[in-house]
A and B are shown apart, each in its own frame.
Chain A
Amino acid sequence: MRIRTLSRVLTVAALVLGLSGALTAALADHEIVAGGQCDRTGATKLVGEQICPGVLDYVNLVNKKGGIEGHRIRYIEVEHGYQVDRGVEAYERIKREGGVAMLDYGTPIVYALTPRHMEDKIPGITPGFGRADATDGRKWPYIFPLAATYWSQMGAGMKYVKDSGARKGSKIAYIFYDNPAGREPLHVFERICKQEGYGCRTFAVPPPGVEMASQVLDITRRMRADWVIAHLFGKSPSISIKEFKKNGFPLDKVVSLVWGAGEHDILAAGWDTAQGYLGMQFAGVGRNFPVIQEIVKMYRDEGREVPATVGSVYYNRGVLVGALMAEAIRLAVAHEGLPVTGEKVRNGYRRIRDFTLGGLLPPLTVTEADHEGGGWVKLYQVRGTEIVAHTDWFHGYRDVVQDEVRKAAGKK
Chain B
Amino acid sequence: MINRESGVYQTTYEGDMALYTLPLARATALAAVALLVLLPLPLWSAGNEHWMSIVNTIVLSAIGAIGLNILVGYTGQISIGHGGFMAAGAYAAAILSSRYDMPFLVGVAAGGVVAMLVGTFFGIPSLRIKGLYLAIATLAAQLIIEWTINHVTWIGGGAQSTIYVQNPTILGVEFDNEFRRYYLLLPFFLLAYFGALNLVRSRVGRAFIAVRDRDIAAEIIGVDIFKYKLLAFAVSSFYAGVAGALYTYYLRIANYEQFTLIVSIQFLAMIIIGGLGSVIGSVLGAIFIKLLPIVLDLTVVGVSENVFGVPYARVADFLANFQLVVFGGLIILFLAIEPQGLARMWFNVKRYFRLWPFSY
Contacts and interface: CB of A to CB of B under 8 A. Distances in A.
Direct contact of A and B (CB under 8 A): yes
Contact of A77 (B294, B302, B312, B348): B312
A86 interface: yes
A180 B323 CA distance: 28
B236 interface: no
A38 interface: yes
Contact of B317 (A49, A84, A85): A49
A111 B307 contact: no
Contacts of B345: 1, 6
Contacts of A17: 295, 298-299
B293 A23 contact: no
Interface string A184-222: 101100000000000000000010000000000000000
Contacts of A45: 320
B47 A96 contact: yes
Main secondary structure of the interface of A (DSSP, over half): helix
Contact of A179 (B98, B257, B312): B257
B175 to A, nearest CB: 12
B303 interface: yes
B352 A3 contact: yes
A117 to B, nearest CB: 12
Main secondary structure of the interface of B (DSSP, over half): helix
Interface residues of B, number: 56
A24 B306 contact: yes
Interface in B313-360: 313, 316-317, 319-321, 323-324, 337-338, 345, 348-349, 352
Contact of A115 (B60, B160, B253): B253
Interface residues of A, number: 54
Interface stretch (A51-59, A265-273, A334-342): A51-59
Contacts of A293: none
A69 interface: no
Given A3-B348, A79-B316, A178-B150, 13 more contacts: A19-B302, A24-B298, A45-B320, A52-B316, A60-B313, A78-B297, A81-B320, A88-B251, A96-B50, A111-B253, A112-B258, A179-B150, A179-B257
Interface of A: 1-3, 6, 16-17, 19-21, 23-24, 26, 38, 40-42, 45, 49, 52-53, 56-57, 60, 77-79, 81, 83-86, 88-89, 92-93, 95-96, 107-108, 111-112, 114-115, 119, 130, 178-180, 183-184, 186-187, 206, 412
Interface of B: 47-50, 53-54, 57, 60-61, 98, 147, 150, 159-162, 164, 176, 178, 251-253, 255, 257-258, 262-263, 290, 293-295, 297-299, 301-303, 305-307, 311-313, 316-317, 319-321, 323-324, 337-338, 345, 348-349, 352
26 contacts: A1-B337, A17-B295, A21-B298, A23-B302, A24-B301, A26-B306, A41-B323, A49-B317, A60-B313, A77-B312, A81-B323, A85-B61, A88-B53, A88-B57, A89-B53, A89-B57, A89-B294, A95-B50, A96-B50, A111-B255, A112-B258, A178-B150, A180-B150, A180-B160, A183-B161, A184-B159
